[in-house]
Amino acid sequence: MATNQAGKLPSDYSEGSIRVLKGLEPVKQRPGMYTRTDNPLHVIQEVLDNAADEALAGHGKKIKVTLHADSSVSVEDDGRGIPFGLHPEEKAPVVELVYTRLHAGGKFDKGSGGAYSFSGGLHGVGVSVTNALSKRLEVVTHREGSAARLAFSGGDVIEPLEVRKLEAGERKQGTTVRAWPDAKYFETAALPMGELTHLLRSKAVLMPGVSVTLVNEKTRETQQWLYKGGLSDYLVQTLNGDPVIPLFEGSGHADKNADNFAEGEGADWCVAFTEDGQPVRESYVNLIPTSAGGTHESGLRDGLFNAVKSFIELHSLLPKGVKLLPEDVFARASYVLSAKVLDPQFQGQIKERLNSRDAVRLVSSFVRPALELWLNQHVDYGKKLAELAIKAAQTRQRAGQKVEKRKGSGVAVLPGKLTDCESKDTSHNEVFLVEGDSAGGSAKMGRDKESQAILPLRGKVLNTWEVERDRLFANNEIHDISVAIGVDPHGPNDTPDLSGLRYGKVCILSDADVDGSHIQVLLLTLFFRHFPKLIEAGHVFVARPPLFRIDAPARGKKPASKVYVLDEGELAATLDKLRKEGVREGSWSISRFKGLGEMSAGQLWETTLNPDTRRLLPVQLGSLDFGQTENLITKLMGKGEAAARRELMELHGDAVDVDI
């Protein structure tokens, strides 16, 4: 705690200075944590998602979005209407709670009696964020023979609930929400029309038979989308080249007898393979567009690759010396993928990437058998697809060999403890710098020998912040790292020869505890100080191993299972999911990994090495530029900087979690 000269606490720090943000205050204080602030599209999307959820649950056939002349936007649906009776515990109208509480809504009530089985994810912030960031918001809900209306401003009720009986000829059910987004929260108040129309069109694509209309009062234009044919209809209209083989379309969902997945979970997909043109790739989870992809896309890639690979093996089509990789099949694929996942986990507040690990197996388990069957029923098309994939593999291998020849002269002897990979394709290869020999042993056994190399490091690496470049190699570990990756140490203004780089990804893999974090910092210091061009070119990554394992008992038809989670937040979400599946409170056990050495080779592969299910963070300069970052690291890592470090701790000490 900082003290003033007299040794007393600063006088302005008292009970009254601790702020508890109530209701929607946190959203107004930090809108960027809850939504995109470049424009109001995402807050409108929250309202749209609710209308789509009604249609998805089978209760609506029409969604209409109107851009009014006064810059407000309204969304109208013919769903069931939001209930407006009093909530039994909160003693306030339900519709009011939905718009004024961060964690309220029908989507939390999962299971047999829940109103929604599948919905656009569970950040649980939803339309209350739209309300908090709007100057005015009006809701009219029609249900049970009545219409109820209320209005808000900045998240507060300004016109309380009014209920009236419906008149003859009025629509029977549905909700209309009209919002006036508050310009002060957004960089621009204008909605990006291209993104909005794309979003509306995609909703229509994913819900065949539901009509989506956009009315623009200023330009007096109306657009309507209705796709009877669903995904294939849409993909054919957006493709950039001619498909080599007919479109592969399918869908698969778990029934109530499925062992590993909840009833209704699954995917619909349509895939086209073209020889040229930019591939079209769109994926959705519970109708939410996942622009950054995620584990459901990995499942599609996995399913396509394994089906094509088994077809090639069955018909002995692979030329000698050619090794097929997933991207050889995937490179020319255009697709639209719509997955349904119960309680999806997303990365980022606006849900642009799906993180749920089970989604890889879920999608792959439906795609692979369907494509295998199709290819073996249409052998000629199968051979055309195989030809396309083999051609891609040969091109890739030729490119890898060219680089190899250039590097052939005067190669340094690789360090003895490096377990190298078999492939010579730099773009695909990865090296993991692993803390400790025991973890190194598990990693060697669990890795993909083809493309993953392991370099175990003994003990803590030297703090190299103030070490002269030509003295670096006196340290064995650093010498080994430099020789293994094939790049010499350099400064920020040098132009090092990166043609010798042996791995496209250099991954730091350390325990999830305090010592592991220290080793991670020492290695990041080494790369930032002595290999800055590797970071600049995007070759350095940090692997994030899980911190907890949950052993869940058998439940119903689901066998006992082990679930790995990254941190406290994921732990809470996973336990919630178990409760919803009917697991008795406390019948699971939670163990915390002290280190990677505790994991078996299989566990390490599944959680940390497998490209489909691991979490790998690219290392980049954040909001600070190179010079500012350098100054900050000097404070943290410099030898004579104890006073500066102390000041940093005093300023930010309360933001640090201490692991004891």
Per the structure block, which two tokens stand in for 258? 């499925």
123 is in an annotated binding site: yes
Residues near 347 by beta carbon (within 8 Å), at least 6 away in sequence: 292, 294, 353, 354, 355
242 is in an annotated binding site: no
CA 399 to chain centre: 31
Tell me the torsion sign for CA atoms 14, 20, 25, 27. positive
3-state secondary structure of 256: coil
Phi, psi of 456 (to 5 degrees): -75, 140
127 is in an annotated binding site: yes
Q: Are 126 and 105 in contact (CB under 8 A)?
A: yes
Active-site residue, 109 included: no
50 is in an annotated binding site: yes
Tell me the torsion sign for CA atoms 89, 92, 93, 97. negative
417 is in an annotated binding site: no
Q: String of b and e for 528-555 (b: at least 16 CB within 10 Å)?
A: bbbbbbbbeeebbbbbbbbbbbbebeee
Alpha-carbon distances, residue 119 vs 77, 199, 344, 347 (angstroms): 16, 16, 9, 16
Q: Are 130 and 73 in contact (CB under 8 A)?
A: no
122 is in an annotated binding site: yes
3-state secondary structure of 506: strand
DSSP conformational letter for 659: -
Q: String of b and e for 494-516 (b: at least 16 CB within 10 Å)?
A: eebebebbbbbbbbbbbbbeeeb
CA distance 486 to 410: 12
Phi, psi of 561 (to 5 degrees): -140, 160
Which of the residues 420, 513, 576, 641 is marked catalytic?
Answer: 513
152: which strand partners?
137, 157
162: which strand partners?
149
Per residue, the 3-state secondary structure of 195-207, as one string, reads HHHHHHHHHHHHC
Q: Are 535 and 619 in contact (CB under 8 A)?
A: yes
295-314 vs 379-407: helix crossing angle, rounded to 10: 100
Which of the residues 435, 480, 488, 606 is marked catalytic?
Answer: 435
121 is in an annotated binding site: yes
Which of the residues 49, 53, 249, 511 is marked catalytic?
Answer: 511
459 is in an annotated binding site: no
203 is in an annotated binding site: no
| Cα 228–Cα 229–Cα 230 angle in degrees, nearest 5 | 95
Question: Taking Cα atoms as reference points, which of 43, 190, 183 lies closest to residue 127?
Answer: 43
Question: Taking Cα atoms as reference points, which of 617, 616, 659, 656 lies closest to residue 636?
Answer: 656
| H or E segment to which residue 36 belongs | none
DSSP conformational letter for 274: B
Active-site residue, 511 included: yes
DSSP conformational letter for 473: G
Question: Taking Cα atoms as reference points, which of 182, 202, 206 lies closest to residue 194?
Answer: 202
Alpha-carbon distances, residue 185 vs 21, 28, 35, 610, 621 (angstroms): 18, 8, 10, 40, 26
Amino acid at 201: R
CA distance 386 to 586: 51
77 is in an annotated binding site: yes
Phi, psi of 625 (to 5 degrees): -85, -175
Active-site residue, 138 included: no
Which of the residues 138, 195, 515, 641 is marked catalytic?
Answer: 515
CA distance 282 to 303: 17
Q: State the CB neighbour count (10 A cutoff) for residue 109.
A: 11
Annotated binding site: 13, 50, 77, 121-127, 351
Annotated binding site for ATP: 13, 50, 77, 121-127, 351
Enzyme catalytic residues: 435, 511, 513, 515
